[in-house]
Amino acid sequence: MNIDSALPALAALAHPTRLEAFRFLVRHEPEGLSTGELVDASGLTQSTFSTHLAVLAKAGLVKSEKLGRQQIQRADIDTLRELMLFLAKDCCQSRPELCEPLLAELTCC
């Protein structure tokens, strides 16, 4: 993950519909959900939501797999991890003491 891959990931998550959908998918790992189920949960039009899903997919945050005539969507935790690592990298590398409280809270879960 570098600045060019972090930017689309951040932009993908910086929208209420997409952030909600991504969090929804994370909570449904590792089974995933079909596009239709996500559309229903979003309350938006199928075409509108499909566009949002494409943004998440292009950012690498969601991977999909064809299953019959539906498309199963799954959150990509690896990309999320890489994004968080990218965000933490700057403060950790230059100033390890800045990251200690960050890691302290993260390890509690």
Partner DNA sequence: AATTCCTATCGGAAATATCCGATGAATTTA
Partner DNA sequence: TAAATTCATCGGATATTTCCGATAGGAATT
Sequence-ordered list of residues with C-beta below 8 angstroms from that of 82, at least 6 positions apart, any chain? 1, 5
**Partner in contact with 17, chosen from DNA, a copy of itself, none, beta carbon below 5 to 8 Å by kind:** DNA
Copy the structure tokens of residue 45: 């039009």
Q: What's the chain's length in residues?
A: 109
Cα–Cα distance measured from residue 25 to residue 11, given in angstroms and rounded to the nearest whole number = 18
* 61 within 8 A of 75, measured Cβ to Cβ: yes
**Partner in contact with 88, chosen from DNA, a copy of itself, none, beta carbon below 5 to 8 Å by kind:** a copy of itself
Residues 14-43 that bind a copy of itself (CB under 8 A): 14-16, 19-20, 23, 26-27, 29
> How many residues sit close enough to DNA to count as binding (CB under 7 A)?
25
Q: Is 36 in the site for DNA (CB under 7 A)?
A: yes
Residues 64-103 that bind DNA (CB under 7 A): 64, 66, 68-71
Q: Output the smallest distance, CB 63 to a copy of itself, in A.
A: 14
**Partner in contact with 65, chosen from DNA, a copy of itself, none, beta carbon below 5 to 8 Å by kind:** none
> In the block, which residue shows the tokens 């996500």?
38
Q: Is 46 in the site for DNA (CB under 7 A)?
A: yes
Q: Greatest CA span in the chain, whole angstroms?
A: 51
